[in-house]
Amino acid sequence: MLRSVKAQDYMCEDLITFTPETDLFEAINQLLEYRITGAPVIDKNGALVGLLSEADCLKAILTLTYHEEEMGGYVGTYMTPEVHTISHDADIIKVAEEFIHNKRRRLPVVKDGKLIGQISRRDVLKAVEQFAMDG
């Protein structure tokens, strides 16, 4: 059985993030540049307020085109405000269960309401690999 390891031990801390005031097309450009499918949205205090995904961007573009409005806007208008998160001190087994039961690929990691990182299924697999190698 895996020894207790916390989400914060395997999470990625170097994240691309947006604010609600970020220009939508600037955000799209960053998603493309960094080859990521979404990014957390934080307020000026570092609190997680949403998530902007490729799907959110596509919906925004289709909505703007349908209504024949000028393209553009801000991340805060199009982000998904309800985000599943995991606590920094959650056991890696709990993280794996979240991925399985809620069909998530990655979860923002929070501490005291602030975003401190992100953990992915791949990060959990790396933890398992390390345990296997440690014997």
Kindly state the tokens that stand for 83: 């985000």
Question: Does residue 38 lie within any of the structural domains?
Answer: yes
Residue 1 domain-assigned (yes or no): no
Does 66 reside within a domain? yes
pLDDT in tens, 23-35: 999 999 999 999 9
Please state the three-class secondary structure of 38-52 as a single string: EEEEECCCCEEEEEE
pTM: 0.81
The partner residues of 118 in beta bridges, in order of sequence, read 12, 108
Write the pLDDT tens digit of every residue in 86-133: 999 999 889 999 999 988 888 999 999 899 999 999 999 988 887 777
Structure confidence at residue 127 (pLDDT):
85
Residue 88 included in any domain: yes
The domain that holds 52 is classified in CATH as 3.10.580.10
Residue 61: what pLDDT?
87
**Within a domain: 2:** no
pLDDT of residue 70: 67
Residue, of 84 and 4, whose pLDDT is higher = 84
Which of 45, 1, 37, 44 is CA-nearest to residue 16? 37
Domain containing residue 55: 7-134
Asked if the structure places residue 74 within a domain, the reply is yes
pLDDT at 79 over 90: yes
In a domain, 47, yes or no: yes
pLDDT for 5: 83
Average confidence (pLDDT) over 78-93: 92
Indicate the residue type of 65. Answer: T
Domain count, the chain: 1
